[in-house]
Amino acid sequence: MAPLNLDLNKRYTYADYLTWADDVRRELFDGFIKFYSPIFLLFATFRSWMTGVAWAHLIW
């Protein structure tokens, strides 16, 4: 899929966001596009895994 040509200085709405049909992870923060960094995604995955490990120790 071809990447979208979005202006990072333009303010967008949630309706605009819903029309972006590509595989890039991004979010709107006060109407401006913010891309997820690979480190954040890695941290979120690790945090999710650690939460599961912590719960497993509490149950047993």
Contacting residues for 34 by C-beta, under 8 A, at least 6 apart: 26, 27, 28
Percent of the chain with pLDDT over 70: 73
Kindly list the domain boundaries of the chain, sorted by start residue: 14-59
Percent of the chain with pLDDT over 90: 20
**pLDDT one-digit tens code per residue, 36-45:** 766 666 777 7
CA angle centred on 14, ends 13 and 16, rounded to 5°: 65
Record the pTM: 0.54
